[in-house]
Amino acid sequence: MEPPRRTGLLRGARKASVDDAKNARGRKASTVGATGKSLLKTSGIKDYREKQLRTQQYICPLCARIIALSDSALDHCHKTGKIRKVLHRWCNAVLGRVENWSGRSGIDKIQFLKAVVHYLEAPQTTVEHPSHGKKRKRRRRK
């Protein structure tokens, strides 16, 4: 039996139609949902990210470096859906990895990150790893 083919779409996702694109134009960037919460529409993400980036003075709260708009990501909590801040794409990816892993493993992410800081600040041994400092020969591709 042949394995199922991957279509490239996420579970439950659908391709956007031409009508969807037409309907997205001219909509407000955010609305108030049935629960009274302020909802940001997909078409308003870019504008909101730019505005938030300006309020952060283009500084990433995680690495404290300047963020270019092209290298920015609008970070949000996956439990509540609330937007937090704008991060570098890389910082957002690292944070997402930690949060996803901690959620799946049941480990508290704050305690884990505190343990990481403690571990990195701890004294090191005097023994060097064998691969440290060696220049590796690059393999030639065939």
The tens digit of pLDDT for each residue in 14-29 reads 344 434 433 444 444 4
Residue 14, token pair as written in the block: 């659908």
- One of 3.40.50.300, 3.40.50.150, 3.40.1800.10, 2.60.40.10 is the CATH number of 29-121, namely 3.40.1800.10
Q: What pLDDT was estimated at residue 44?
A: 81
pLDDT digits (tens, 9 = 90+) for 42-64: 778 889 999 999 999 999 999 99
Of 18, 26, 57, the C-alpha closest to 44 is 26
Convert the pLDDT of each residue in 86-137 to its tens digit: 999 999 999 999 998 988 899 999 999 999 999 999 999 999 988 887 776 6
pLDDT recorded at residue 37: 60
Handedness of CA 124, 125, 126, 130 (dihedral sign): negative
Taking alpha carbons only, the member of 83, 90, 21, 26 closest to residue 49 is 83
Phi and psi at residue 87, in whole multiples of 5°?
A: -125, 165
pTM for the model stands at 0.61
Q: Output the pLDDT for position 26.
A: 43
Q: SS3 of 106, please? A: coil
Q: List phi, psi (to 5°) of 95.
A: -60, -40
pLDDT at 92: 96
